Structures are given as structure tokens and as C-alpha cells.
Amino acid sequence: MPPISDRLLSYSKQFILVITIALGACASHPQAPINAATADYSYKIGPGDTLNIVVWRNPELSMSVPVRPDGKISAPLIDDLGAMGKDSTTLARDIEKELGKFIRDPVVTVIVTNFVGPYSEQIRVVGAAAKPQILAYKQKMTILDVMIAVGGITDFADGNRATILRTAENNAQYAVRLKDLIKNGDVSANVEMKPGDVLIIPQSWF
């Protein structure tokens, strides 16, 4: 039998190896941060949105218009004005500039009445969700909100191995615990989403 000092050294090396492996596993899929969403988030218009354009004292120019798949809108006296990626205030100022060519000092308000959002900010849920789908991002949206929208996870889902792919952080991945949240009511597993997040829910092999 080797001396006690040699055995202690061997145990120490094994312990360090185990810790290194564990840290490596955590680094590859860190826990998703609770306060992930930005407080100053401003909704960006995207294709499929419906916009209510109100031109003060000019009801004939006020109307509801859809944002086309190319991200542009058309309205009276306005042809092919880009709307995608703008907030409602910025778009209203752009419409005022266009209308200013025909009427004096137009005052425009834009209200988004049907929300889809730009492609880059939509939330995607793939894998073993009851209803995998694409969702419009909303400020302070949490993973619980997402689960409600998609009807939860299937009986074959491995919820505690789910991950968030965060496109806003160069496709960094964060581990999330959907089973603990949905099945056990563990609110500590509820995390905020960010625009463009992809929630990936794997199936269980057992």
C-alpha cells in the first residue's frame, strides 16, 4: 500500500479533475440571468404589424395599414415608406416629412394595433413544447409567459435540460429548468427573455 502522503496527493488530483469537469459543464450552459431584459426596450415595428395612422385635422389621410412582408407601408400620398425596425414615434416623424410635401405642418400619430415585431426580435420555441411556435417579444416577458403561450411542455420533454440560445449575445446558451418551474412551481426557475431568444426543449430518452 502506498504511503498516506501519496494517497492524499492522488485523491487531491482526482478531486481537482472532477471540479474542472464540473466547471466546464457549467460554463457551456450557464444559468440564464434573471434580469435579462433591458429596461429601456422600445418596440420595433415588423412585417405583419397593423398600424393605425392618425393625421390631425386630416381624416381623409388617417387609416389603418398593414406592414408588408418587405417591411414597407403604403398610404394616401405615401408610397413605399420603410417601417420595419422603427418605433412608432420615429415612423410618425417620417410620415410627417412625406406628407409635408403636400400639406402644411402635418401632425401624425402612429399606433401599433397588431403586434408581430421584426424577425430578429421574435421569440422562437422549438422541440418538445406542446405547441412550438414563434411569439412576438414583449417587454419583461418571462419564460413562464412563453410556456403559457405554447401550452407548456410535452410528457416526453426533458424540461430541466432546456436551453435559451441568446442571439443578442452571439448565440450564447443558458440552461433553464422548465420542469422545476412548471411541474414543481419553483419560481426561482422563472427567467426573463430577451428579443431574439430561441428556447430549445429536448426530449427525454427515458
Q: Which domains does the chain have, with CATH numbers?
A: 31-38+120-201 (3.10.560.10), 50-114 (3.30.1950.10)
Q: Could you tell me the three cell numbers for 125?
A: 420555441
Question: Across all residues in the chain, what is the average pLDDT?
Answer: 86
Residue 176, strand partner residues? 162
For 5-28, what is each residue's pLDDT tens digit?
454 445 444 444 433 434 444 445
Average pLDDT of the segment spanning 83-109? 97
Gap between the Cα atoms of 72 and 109, Å rounded: 17
- pLDDT computed for residue 21 by the predictor: 38
Gap between the Cα atoms of 48 and 96, Å rounded: 22
Enter the pTM of the model. 0.75
Task: Tell me the residue length of the chain.
Answer: 206
For 129-185, what is each residue's pLDDT tens digit?
999 999 999 999 999 999 999 999 999 999 999 999 999 999 999 999 999 999 999
- pLDDT computed for residue 39 by the predictor: 60
